[in-house]
Amino acid sequence: MPAHVGGKGEGMLLAGNDMHAFRAGDIFFIGSNLPHLFKSNPAYFAPKSRKSIKALSLYFNVKGTMSGLFNLPEMKLLKTYLQSVRHGFKTDALYNQTLAIRMREVHAATGLDALQRFLETMQSLPGLRHTGPLCPTDYSADLSESEGMRLSKILGFVMQRYHTQVTLDEAAAVACMAPQAFCRYFKKHTGRSFVTFLNEVRINEACKCLTHSDKPDGISGAAYKAGFNSLTNFNRVFKSVKGVSPRAYLAEYMAVNPFPLR
């Protein structure tokens, strides 16, 4: 179960079948075998961009080399807690600074001191408030390592190509599967069709373009950047995903955030 603390950067985390925005200082605890991908915002890939991402990770496996430790009677409550949050979570910002310091102390320590600081960090987890699970509780993350790598590869492909025309055959080829088998595989492990997932990624990116861009391009510009060639189709898909039209979504955002977009 890895823990990630962001030092620099902004973007989106794909975890299982859900998406979460991230920014500098955020901390995520990610469940074992949960396919995930951190994807930086488009501005980080722009020509001559000087933006960069910096993160710190802490990995531990309660069923691997550390199983002896986590099977001790004294660890029962912590182990039960980790099972209850098996998909992971994003911590409340209130705890980020303290947790980040503890994680850095684990990295800097050696020997028994490193183990002690790790246990102190683990001991603090059950008392944390968080934003809820990273993906629905009924999501099945029981994947083998190879299957997890395959699904992560597919997610990576989506994040690299969502702004272009993506065919089912191309996605299936990434998974080394026939299209029909790929559709069944993707639906089984994400709970939604590949097209539905692709559209959700595109709409999520369009929302960021509409509300967090330095130079907003308007609704048509956001639609084009997200991979839609038809404004009519964009409006239809946007409403099916968000429940409101792009114009209504932007109006609601501006009502809550009356300051100029930047």
> Tens digits of per-residue pLDDT, 210-261?
887 565 678 999 999 999 999 999 999 999 999 999 999 888 878 766 554 4
Q: Which domains does the chain have, with CATH numbers?
A: 3-133 (2.60.120), 145-256 (1.10.10.60)
Place of tokens 């391009």: 217
Burial class (CB in 10 A: 0-12, 13-18, 19+), 21: middle
- Residue 262: per-residue pLDDT: 44
Q: Which of 136-140, 179-183, 205-209 has the lowest mean pLDDT?
A: 136-140
Predicted TM-score (pTM) of this structure: 0.67
> Tens digits of per-residue pLDDT, 123-135?
888 888 887 788 8
One-letter amino acid at 99 equals L
Contacts with 200 (C-beta within 8 Å, 6 or more apart), sequence order? 19, 192, 241
Burial class (CB in 10 A: 0-12, 13-18, 19+), 74: exposed
**Contact yes or no for 208/214 (Cβ under 8 A):** no
Element holding 174 (H helix, E strand): helix 168-174
Q: Determine what percent of the chain is predicted with pLDDT higher than 90.
A: 38
Residues in the chain: 262
Burial class (CB in 10 A: 0-12, 13-18, 19+), 225: middle
